[in-house]
Amino acid sequence: MGVLVQEQAGLFHLQSPGMSYMIQIVDGYPLHVYWGGRLKHREQMDDLLIHTPAKAGLDRLPQEYPQYGSGDFRNPAYQAELEDGTRITELKYEGYRILKGKPSLSGLPAVYTEDDAEAETLELELKDAYSGLKVILSYTIFADRNVITRSARLSNAGDNNLRLRRALSASVDFSGKSDLEMMYLTGAWAREANIIRKPIHQGETRIDSKRGMSSHQFNPFAALVTPETTESHGEAYGFSLVYSGSFEAEAEVDSFGSTRVSIGLNSFDFAWLLSPGESFQTPEAVMVYSGQGLGGMSRTYHRLYRTRLCRGKFRDEERPILVNNWEATYFNFDADKLVSIAEEGARLGIELFVLDDGWFGKRDSDNSSLGDWYEDRRKLPDGLADVAQRVNEQGLKFGLWFEPEMISPDSELYRKNPDWCLHVPGRRRSEARWQLVLDYTRQEVRDYIFDSLSAIFTTVPVSYVKWDMNRALTEIGSAALPPERQSETAHRYVLGLYELLERITSAFPHILFESCSSGGGRFDPGMLYYMPQTWTSDNTDGVERLKIQYGTSLVYPVSAIGAHVSAVPNHQVGRMTPLEFRGDVAMSGNFGYELDLTKFTDEEKEIVKRQVSAYKEIRGLVQKGDLYRLKSPFQGNESSWMFVSEDQKEAVVYYFQVMAVPNAPLRSLRLDGLNPELEYEVQPGNNGETSIHGGDRLMQLGLTLAYQQKDYESGWFRLRAVTP
């Protein structure tokens, strides 16, 4: 396994335990031969090789990094403009090298290895002889995962300037495959991660973001599946971009029945000047093949992102159960009110108190003070350190909310530095939520934020930070960049963000950072590299969260999914749901509460105690176990999923019914992921009567469900293998 080469045939075979990916050099062009289930490597593989000569037309060839202008009329992977204004380049193969392990990407987050034995990397070198444009295509194949990561590094080895107009991370041509379906995640604020699945036809199926962030509207992920693919059967090809800015992903079906899939930086409004000797590195695309349906694809992504994308001490640690004061108080609080919530949380077994928005500057509403990162002594006369100490005395750790990428026009920072925001001279500065976006392309801006946050982290015992980002980028221009580089602003913003995140997470490794962007507006692999969890949605309604968390799990691990119980009527949709139902939904992620615990009745407090106690027992399994989705909330009134330990000896199963069903039939729930040879003790989460069943029976016949005639019904079961 690894990278296998047949030089005479010009064949490169990337092989993992269950997958093969093959490339062939034909007339100097790297062509795509195969991607799918694992093939044995043989001395003679002529039946797989591509014999069509280039003179037959590039439009008929399945290319690995296609160009435009020399006969291929489909969408290219890159485009470069020469100094004379022409845009024709033709990359030809120059050579290859194989590296042990996986090199890091300069200035960009990426999947990593901890030992060189985990992977091998193939680099193909291509060059346009006329312009001097050189491209290194990088492919990493993993020894124990059906994963390929791809990226491209474009360099100017000529004597004149080049301007990149397009620089995607990956392009794959599926020859003769036009009967596929495309899956992706779409939505808006408060209704993120809706799953769309639809057939692709001749023409283009495209998702993208032009917002300077990965966005609520589309996630930087897409998958191609066969029509018969289900959760547990059929083929799935996943494409995930490790990037937090504007992106594009597309499936283009041509007139010959082939499908070209591409993913990378959004080419709209993008350009990058390459002077002689300079290089440009694309973000990384993570490609997963599954022959075991969508579930197999998801679990591959989950394990990879949880253990080889997330970093730091919290990668492997169980996450704390928290209470956040936002929906309890909004901006109206004082130190005593905050501590009272923490005191109640301590009695209920909660481990972390988070002070959300409103503690800094003169922040009495969301129309001021962003950028003024110093405590508001009007609200907190004795300061943050006093509040944190009082919270710590209750046995809880202390966390804080920040929105460090934004600036309020009504702030001391803006009055001193009005050019520190993204803006275009002579144009209005579009405000959203009464705020503008700081220009993170500028080192002095990033230094100010680093120094401001560091001053707090070194004087206040902060254990957790919620890093928010509440608006998209507009008037994308920088006062610090010359005219010829203004089209680089959006990408330079993301690179500046990554530079700052690397500095601050490295300087304060004891702090658990959680990413947020009005909920899931920037739930992407790029942010997970720096922050191992993300606030999944501002919508905390239990019913809506079934869809949001289910959809998010298509590619992201449960360890990354922040999920809280909030008050009813729900603040986003006004729905009334039982506390038990809200708790069961939230316990299927990183668990917490976002409400005023002091207002609970004694009965509600007992329910919370049970939830907290139960979650402490199962959170290792929830956060690190293999997820199996059993019933989709997008397909009916019921939802269900389960988490299974790596050794298959433990599992926890959740079941939800949204609305009551009159004269309901008998119900059973077929489980998945268990060992059919083992016997399991099944313990209902409500401490009902235990029973013992074989893993084969639970997966083939199912677990019988009792029916209660009520809306918003939920329940869970704990499974443990027992000795026969």
- Is 711 noted as a catalytic residue in this protein? no
Count CA atoms closer than 13 A to 458's CA, side-chain side: 8
- Please give the radius of gyration of the chain, using alpha carbons only, rounded to the nearest integer: 26
Rounded to whole angstroms, how far apart are CA atoms 69 and 163?
Answer: 16
φ/ψ of residue 546, rounded to 5: -55, -45
Instruction: Taking each helix axis as running N to C, give the angle between helix 335-348 and helix 383-393, from 0 to 180 degrees, rounded to the nearest 10.
Output: 20
Any idea what DSSP says for residue 320?
Answer: P
**Of 429, 441, 431, 428, whose CA–CA distance to 482 is shortest?**
441
Q: How far is CA 262 from CA 147, 150, 249, 298, 670, in A?
A: 17, 11, 6, 20, 37
φ/ψ of residue 484, rounded to 5: -70, -5
Rounded to whole angstroms, how far apart are CA atoms 101 and 117?
Answer: 6
Count CA atoms closer than 13 A to 692's CA, side-chain side: 6
Decide if 455 contacts 447 (C-beta within 8 A): no
Q: How far is CA 656 from CA 112, 179, 570, 626, 660, in A?
A: 37, 34, 18, 19, 11
Residue 363: strand, helix, or coil: coil
- Is 179 noted as a catalytic residue in this protein? no
Rounded to whole angstroms, how far apart are CA atoms 519 and 522?
Answer: 8
Decide if 712 contacts 585 (C-beta within 8 A): no
**Active-site pick, 538, 541, 626, 672:** 538
Rounded to whole angstroms, how far apart are CA atoms 527 and 696?
Answer: 40
CA 100 to chain centre: 27
How many Cβ atoms are within 10 Å of 47's Cβ, its own excluded? 6
Residue 482: strand, helix, or coil: coil
Rounded to whole angstroms, how far apart are CA atoms 584 and 543?
Answer: 11
Decide if 300 contacts 17 (C-beta within 8 A): no
Residue with tokens 């008037």: 475
Note the helical H segments in 460-488.
none
**Active-site pick, 72, 439, 468, 626:** 468
Q: Which two tokens stand for residue 179?
A: 């009967």
DSSP 589-630: SEEEEES-GGG--HHHHHHHHHHHHHHHHHHHHHHHSEEEEE
Catalytic residue set: 468, 538
